[in-house]
Amino acid sequence: MSDKVYKTIRLTGCSEESYEKAIKVALGKAGESLHGVSWFTVTEMRGGIRDGATVEYQATVEVAFKID
């Protein structure tokens, strides 16, 4: 078994639909620009409110990718 090293970064995805969609937005962007994405952890969930209604869902994720 070979030794491995991972780097983690924090990203926040936003969606007007749901937390799940906000997570997918963040992971989708990570997949476009990072090589070897291996796992993620949701670290924060929050939302924006306007006039008493939820207008935005935000999810912050830590994304890990393998260092070659």
d(CA 32, CA 49): 30
Query: 1 falls in which pLDDT band (50, 70, 90)?
Result: low
Q: Quick one: pLDDT at residue 63?
A: 98
State the pairing for strand pair 53-66/6-15: antiparallel
> Mean of the pLDDT values across residues 1-14?
92
d(CA 25, CA 28): 5
Q: What are residue 29's phi and psi, to 5 degrees?
A: -65, -40
Two structure tokens written together for 10: 């924090």
Q: Which of 59, 66, 63 is nearest to 12 (CA)?
A: 59
Fold annotation for 6-66 = Dodecin subunit-like (3.30.1660)
